Homo-oligomer: A and B are copies of this chain.
């Protein structure tokens, strides 16, 4: 059997448990195209401090999964930047994640609270 690859697509919880950060970055790109160095800073401002050594490989992964595209661009005089744009597939994946995220938070909340009489 081909667990690894299939499970990734089948069980959203695996994605959630592993890749909350992945979709946070995707969500940032969804706001409008952005580049690695900026994303690192915005994540920090938003309270989700993450080093470059995590973000850059993550961006490469997103692109490999075709959730984003990228294009080098030279803005003014600074260093060239690799801008990332979200794709249709990326938007779909993000939308799906938002739903799974809500469910996941709900589930964890219930477990954390003790869930004695808490229903629905």
Given A17-B20, A105-B105, 10 more pairs with CB closer than 8 A: A13-B48, A23-B112, A24-B108, A28-B111, A30-B114, A31-B114, A46-B107, A48-B107, A97-B112, A101-B112
Q: Indicate how many identical chains form the complex.
A: 2
Q: Are A108 and B17 in contact (CB under 8 A)?
A: no
Would you call the interface of chain A mostly helix, strand, loop, or mixed?
helix
Given contacts A30-B114, A114-B27, A114-B30, contact A108 B49 (CB under 8 A): no
Name the residue of chain B whose CB is nearest to the CB of A114.
B31
Chain B residue nearest in CB terms to A28: B111
Contact partner of A110 (CB less than 8 A), chosen from B17, B20, B46, B111, is B46
Which listed residue, B27, B107, B114, touches A112 by the CB 8 Å rule?
B27
- Check A13 against B107 for contact (C-beta < 8 Å): no
Judged by a CB distance under 8 angstroms, whether A80 is at the interface is no
